[in-house]
Amino acid sequence: METKLSFKELINSDTPVLVDFYADWCGPCKMMPPILDKVKQSFGDDLTIVKIDVDKNQQAAAAYQVRSIPTLILFHKGEIKFQQPGVMQAAQLEQIIREKTSA
């Protein structure tokens, strides 16, 4: 049986976590899933990707000052390594993840 980690436990893990803050009604947000799928394929188990619906999780969005969506936040060992609003291409995202987590 798979244990559900809390968000805090998840972002504090050794595995980098990419969080996609989105909303169902957001046009640009709909462009992210295929991009995130590509990134996930590149990293496999070396990256966790989490999607957070800002309408259902307003506290999380507020906690990380998410003001526009989509917003991507990369956590590694509990620290924010990267945060940027807007749609990003898979190759650019992969490069940022490698740069920010290769410490």
How many helices (DSSP H) and strands (DSSP E) are in the chain?
4, 4
What are 7-58's pLDDT values in tens digits? Answer: 888 999 899 999 999 999 999 999 999 999 999 999 999 999 999 999 999 9
Pick the CATH number of 11-101 from 3.40.30.10, 3.40.50.10800, 3.30.559.10, 3.20.20.70: 3.40.30.10
Contact 95, 40 (CB under 8 A): no
Q: What is the pTM of this model?
A: 0.92
Q: What is the pLDDT of residues 22-32, one digit of tens each?
A: 999 999 999 99
Residue 4 is predicted with a pLDDT of 66
Q: Where are the domains of the chain?
A: 11-101
> Which position among 7, 13, 15, 26 bears the catalytic label?
26
- Catalytic (active site) residue 29: yes
Dist. CA 74–CA 99, nearest whole Å? 11
Is 26 among the catalytic positions? yes
Distances (CA, A) of 64 to 1, 29, 34: 31, 18, 24
